[in-house]
Structure 1
């Protein structure tokens, strides 16, 4: 086993050189056994076995060349019963040649072996013995080819699996980034606005200030709970398995924005029906991000959230009466709008946003297909 392992570590050219020398010596030895050893035999043996050095690069051509040599040397009693060079080339074309050339090489080898035995008048029984040797050489070459093909297939499968895992990890990182952006942007904005309002009324209206600070505390706790759920997938232990936010959370979302001093009107049209959890979460996040942008950027006093159930689609619209600019001062400039677009596209829907036709305020509309 150690010898075989050492041979496998040798460069292919070194292995072929050893095989070439061994096959050439075999011809010289067979010539000596048959009483045909003359001064020109080593030269013929070298020329006959030398094509083995190029057997990997040109397997079909070298098989043909060696076959011609075998046809001439076998009747001269220089090769013995088993022509080593031709056996090596049989293994080689079975291993390396494509199917068409492999079939031609098999036919040529069968014809050549048959002729080299029957034409000189050797016993017919020798044909079966020699044929068995060539069949074994061909089987070994076929096995080597099958093993190489299987290794290539497994490597390709492993590479494809690694690419799929990497793509899945990238999608998961993007999902977590969107979730964290939506959670933090909305909650921190609400907390900041409520804290400013609470500090303004802490002396004039202590009861209202207490409610404001209670709202800040509950908002912060809910934010921490959502972050633990989102980040829990990054840890090995079981994550918090709270359900994703959905459409039933919109009233509470609107109430939280009202506590920040913005008038929010939630309208629903059509008959509601169950939707997949991921679609419901997408709808919730779109409304959440839209309300966050209104609070942070619009300078609005009123915002209307419309949820319309149509045949095969859920339509969302969030419009305000602010100054009509997109986040960061330009349409499409904010990361929130980019995140919303990614969510809608992932759900197979369409997102439209921009200033309202009336000339004041900003509007975000999303169509989400319901399968």
Structure 2
């Protein structure tokens, strides 16, 4: 295929010239290998059956009929060496089969059959000539079908490549969106906790020093945790990366809740084996919900409840604050819904059942669980 591609890449005029020279040399070869003298006028049919091939691409039908008409004059003049095969005619027929539309090809078939029958001197000559014509015509049609199939395969390969590129771009966009959500959750949670603790620190220093010390410890812990998680997320964007800490899962939820003074954790039911992505999603959902509690709710208390059902984990975060107002927490709530949907789950938000405060409820199904054995 590489050789054919190189040949197709050659300039058409150069290919036509090479074919014409080759055909002319083949038609003149009998004059050099046979004994005797021949009139120079015999060269005219030979030239007329060869030189028109220079224009075969632009005028395939005209060239074929010009060659077809020139061939009989060789026998009419006579006294020349035998020409076993008229190569120019074969090339012209091949070109018509390859380049001409169906109506032109039909005309060529009819006129060639009639003309060959009229000028053939014997049945043997007619059969031999017709066989050569059929072979040349068949080669032209096979070349057309082969080229069409090659073009179709190339087009399909290009289409598949474009689809792979688009799929890669979509995957990259989804990954960037996921990383952006994670970084939003990490920064929003850490900064919110640090701000709240820092604001309460000066008052605690004067009234309850031990409370101030705990606040400063919480600030330091939140900062270290945020730095560690951000380092991991940024490491995902590097081409070369060393060992990275695993993403936080349910095992780190108690640590997360402990950083929020007004938050408590309640877990009921028998724990299931969720897949890693679902556990990460649960952690991030709790993290974002507690961030909203700290930033927007003004709550005195908040409860994080993990309820293990028969086929799912239900995560509920309830506070007694005022809940999001206007656009507050909007992007975070959207992120929670997207995380739940990515794991095949659902998320809902609204006023707490008590009538005061706000509640986030997420259900992550066990369908994505990795069950051992």
TM range (shorter): 0.7 to 0.9
Measured in 1, the distance between the counterparts of 2:141 and 2:13 equals 18
Give yes or no for the alignment of 1:353 onto 2:341: no
Q: 2:96: which partner in 1? A: 89
- Aligned residue for 1:257, secondary structure, equals coil
Measured in 2, the distance between the counterparts of 1:333 and 1:292 equals 9
Measured in 1, the distance between the counterparts of 2:72 and 2:15 equals 25
Change (3 A) 1:234 1:105: farther
Measured in 2, the distance between the counterparts of 1:366 and 1:301 equals 22
Q: 1:194: which partner in 2? A: 197
Question: Gapped runs of 5+ residues in structure 2?
Answer: 29-40, 75-84, 368-373
Deviation (angstroms), 1:311: 2.8
Give yes or no for the alignment of 1:310 onto 2:313: no
Measured in 1, the distance between the counterparts of 2:272 and 2:253 equals 15
Q: 1:319: which partner in 2? A: 318
Q: Is the 8 A contact 2:296 2:329 kept in 1?
A: no
Superposed, which structure 2 residues align to 1:262-273 within 5 Å?
A: 262=262, 264-273=263-272
Q: 2:363: which partner in 1? A: 367
Change (3 A) 1:50 1:335: same
Q: 2:330: which partner in 1? A: 334
Measured in 1, the distance between the counterparts of 2:166 and 2:96 equals 39
Deviation (angstroms), 1:235: 0.6
TM-score by length of 2: 0.73
Superposed, which structure 2 residues align to 1:174-213 within 5 Å?
A: 174-213=177-216
Give yes or no for the alignment of 1:343 onto 2:350: no
Measured in 2, the distance between the counterparts of 1:272 and 1:5 equals 66
Measured in 2, the distance between the counterparts of 1:193 and 1:177 equals 24
Q: Is the 8 A contact 1:74 1:80 kept in 2?
A: no
Superposed, which structure 2 residues align to 1:100-179 within 5 Å?
A: 117-118=116-117, 120=120, 121=122, 122-179=125-182
Residue range with higher mean Cα deviation, 69-78 or 175-184: 69-78
Change (3 A) 1:208 1:358: closer
Measured in 2, the distance between the counterparts of 1:314 and 1:205 equals 39
Alignment length, in residue pairs? 330
Q: Is the 8 A contact 1:350 1:367 kept in 2?
A: yes
> Superposition RMSD on alpha carbons, in Å?
4.1
Change (3 A) 1:348 1:109: farther
Measured in 1, the distance between the counterparts of 2:219 and 2:350 equals 31
Q: 1:57: which partner in 2? A: none
Question: Gapped runs of 5+ residues in structure 1?
Answer: 55-61
- Aligned residue for 2:259, secondary structure, equals helix
Q: Is the 8 A contact 2:190 2:223 kept in 1?
A: yes
Superposed, which structure 2 residues align to 1:6-155 within 5 Å?
A: 8=9, 15=12, 33=42, 53=58, 73=69, 80=86, 82-83=88-89, 84-92=91-99, 117-118=116-117, 120=120, 121=122, 122-155=125-158
TM-score by length of 1: 0.73
Deviation (angstroms), 1:9: 7.6
Q: 1:227: which partner in 2? A: 230
Deviation (angstroms), 1:284: 1.0
Measured in 1, the distance between the counterparts of 2:134 and 2:114 equals 12
Give yes or no for the alignment of 1:216 onto 2:219: yes
- Aligned residue for 1:308, secondary structure, equals strand
